[in-house]
């Protein structure tokens, strides 16, 4: 094997190593970004769900629903009810 062939082989090995490292870094970054995005989306959905629930519970309270009273008390104990 000539010196040029050895040099080319070393270059190819270095390229493969660099590509493997880049793929591992990409996968790690992708997974981290996906997880962070999932958490943010889950939190936003939870907040929107609670906000829409408050209106329904409030309406039920105006109509004398004991279940809505329990739900409102739960929201208050969790610190999620609006203090009016």
- At 9-51, the pLDDT tens digits run 999 999 999 999 999 999 999 999 999 999 999 999 998 998 8
- List Cα–Cα distances, 40 to 21, 37, 54, 58, 68, in angstroms: 29, 5, 21, 27, 29
CA dist 60 and 66 (Å) reads 8
Whether 51 contacts 66, CB under 8 Å:
no
- pLDDT value for 83: 61
pTM of the model: 0.53
Whether 69 contacts 62, CB under 8 Å:
no
């Amino acid at each position: 094997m000539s010196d040029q062939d050895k040099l080319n082989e070393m270059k190819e090995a270095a390229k493969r190593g660099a590509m493997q490292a880049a793929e591992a870094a990409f996968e790690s970054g992708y997974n981290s970004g996906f997880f962070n995005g999932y958490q943010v989306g889950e939190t936003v959905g939870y907040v929107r769900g609670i906000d829409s629930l408050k209106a329904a519970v409030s309406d039920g309270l105006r109509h004398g629903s004991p279940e809505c009273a329990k739900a409102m008390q739960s929201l208050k104990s969790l610190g999620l009810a609006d203090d009016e």
